[in-house]
Structure formats: structure tokens, C-alpha cells
A = this chain, B = another copy of it.
Amino acid sequence: MTGTIKLNKVAIVGGTHGNEFSGIYLLRKWRETPQLIARESLSVDTVFANPKAFEENKRYLDSDMNRQFGTDELCNLELANYEQSRAKAINEQLGPKGAAKTDFIIDLHNTTSNMGPSLILLQTDAFNRQLGAYVVAKMPNAVVVLEDHIPVHEHTFLSSITQQGVIVEIGPQPQSVIRQDVLDWMEEMTGHILDFVDLYNRDALPELPSSFEAYKYQETLKLPENDQGERLGMVHRNVQDADFKVLRHGDPIFTLFDGQEVYWEGDYEAYPHFINEAAYYDNNLAMSLAKRVMIDVN
């Protein structure tokens, strides 16, 4: 089953958000020492996605670049601000989406949430199931998140340019800071992913565990707000930093500024992540919720 399709042309993308520093500094390192990301069956390019946002020490200048890669957005020539234009240029360079000259994208991100080294998969075909199993086997503190609730091509993420691609999401790291632990995790995870793709291409994968744990995206919760969209509360202290810890019906989830507590009323065991991510305050998003699932590899 493996090896029927080869993924030889890989792009590692950093700085899709200009204030997520780990990927930006790793790209710089790898451009100076390209043998670190070289693998036998791969040609690996690096792409610095949003250099102007980095210069200005911001997530973006005009709009979030990692929401500009939907087919509609890429085709709409009216969408012409900096990130929308840069998205079209990157789609030209790595894609075009739907018929991409690149086989596999690794897009490097940081979060202020306590998510540790997380690997976000956009589908659960055989390739991704094996990839997740391999990364978790090599890096036991890695967490696999599934955002496979829509088909890959319907995503608006940069990594949806190619049919196969992943997001490496490492935290906690404040915006505009470099933490060594976070940088090291990102470098390690990226290395395992490159190893996997190379082994996959060469039909040389080791024996993999038959299943692994993953967190499947369900929904996004907003912070408590009033009719004017002003925040009325914050993430409850029990939930802060508790990414991937179970939340049950009746558990406190928010504290209002007047001291009142709000409880979660969902009907499933939820695993919050992206808890209190700074970049999501624009839209008053408090966290994402996932269900814990076991993925059978074969």
C-alpha cells in the first residue's frame, strides 16, 4: 500500500504568521545548513511566507494569511491586500491548488496555548494514519490533532495547496518570542516528518504501532461577550494551560469579570486546545474542542 504514490517535492513553510518566531528562525538555520533537512528521496524547499509581517513584528499586515488559501479566495482577483496577494504568489510557487507541483507542505506555527508539540493532520487516509503513528512513536510527547471535518481542498490553510500537507503547531510561546524548548520541539517534529516521508517513498517504513491516540476537532467556543461583542469573562483558571485535558459536562470553563463562573454544558467528553490563544482574541475565540479518538493505522 505504501509507496504507490511518491511525495518527492517537499516545501517547509515558516513565518506564515509574522510573530510566530520558531519557524522563521529554523528556516534561517536550515538555509545556512541545508543538509539538516536533506533526505535521500526528497527535494526540500523552504518558503518564508510573510516576511513583511515579521519585519513589522505582527501576525499579519492586512488579514490572516492562513485563511487565504481557499479555492474561492485564490481565484478572486479582487482580494488584493498584502496577505491575499502573497497567498496567490505562494500558490503560484508551490501549487496551484488542485494541481500542485509540490507534493507535501509542512507549515510551521506557534501558539500561545499550552499545546506542546502538536501535529495537525487534515485527513486520515492511509498516508496520514501512518505519519501520525510514526511521529508519535518517535516523539512520545507529540499530540496529533485531526482537522478532517472538511475535505482538504475546502480548507483555507496554506498547507491545503497540496493534497498532502501538515501543520506543525508548537506552544506555549508568547508572540514575538523565541523559546528554546519550543524551537527544539519544532525542529525535532519536522525532522521526524521528513524522515517519514522519505521512508514512505522508499518503501522502508519501520513497523508502526497498530493504533494511536488523536484529538478530533469538534467545535470552537467563544469567550463570554455582551451584545456589543465586548468580552465579559475569561478562560477559567482550571482550564488555562490544560490543553488536551478532559472537560466534562458541568466543569467550570469561564470566569466572568464579576466573579461568576460559567460551566460547560456539552454532552460529550471534550478535549480543549488552542486555549486562550492570543491571536484568536480578534474574534473572541476562547478555545477549540476535540473528541479523543483512537486511529487504527492499517
What is A's interface to B at a CB cutoff of 8 Å? 25, 28-29, 33, 57, 112, 172, 174-181, 183-184, 231, 234-237, 240, 255, 257-258, 276, 278, 281-282
Closest 6 CB pairs of A and B: A174-B174, A180-B237, A112-B174, A178-B234, A176-B278, A177-B278
Chain B residues lying within 8 Å of A176, measured Cβ to Cβ, are 175, 278, 281
Chain B residues lying within 8 Å of A25, measured Cβ to Cβ, are 231, 234, 257
Q: Are A276 and B240 in contact (CB under 8 A)?
A: no
Contact of A234 among B180, B234, B235 (CB under 8 A): B180
**Complex Cα–Cα for A29 and B180 (A):** 37
**Complex Cα–Cα for A53 and B276 (A):** 21
Q: Are B184 and A237 in contact (CB under 8 A)?
A: yes
Task: Find the B residue at minimum CB distance from A180.
Answer: B237
**Complex Cα–Cα for A236 and B178 (A):** 10
**Complex Cα–Cα for A231 and B255 (A):** 40
CB distance from A31 to the nearest CB of B (A): 11
Query: Can you name 9 A-B pairs with beta carbons within 8 Å?
Result: A25-B257, A57-B282, A112-B177, A172-B174, A174-B175, A176-B281, A178-B231, A178-B235, A181-B240
**Complex Cα–Cα for A174 and B29 (A):** 26
Chain B residues lying within 8 Å of A258, measured Cβ to Cβ, are 29, 33
With contact pairs A25-B257, A175-B278, A278-B174 given, residues A235 and B112 touching in the complex (Cβ less than 8 Å) = no
Chain B residues lying within 8 Å of A231, measured Cβ to Cβ, are 25, 178
**Complex Cα–Cα for A234 and B176 (A):** 12
Q: Are A181 and B281 in contact (CB under 8 A)?
A: no
**Complex Cα–Cα for A258 and B187 (A):** 13
CB distance from A33 to the nearest CB of B (A): 8
Chain B residues lying within 8 Å of A234, measured Cβ to Cβ, are 25, 178-180, 183
Contact of A180 among B181, B236, B278 (CB under 8 A): B236
**Complex Cα–Cα for A187 and B281 (A):** 22
**Complex Cα–Cα for A56 and B112 (A):** 19
Q: Are A237 and B181 in contact (CB under 8 A)?
A: yes
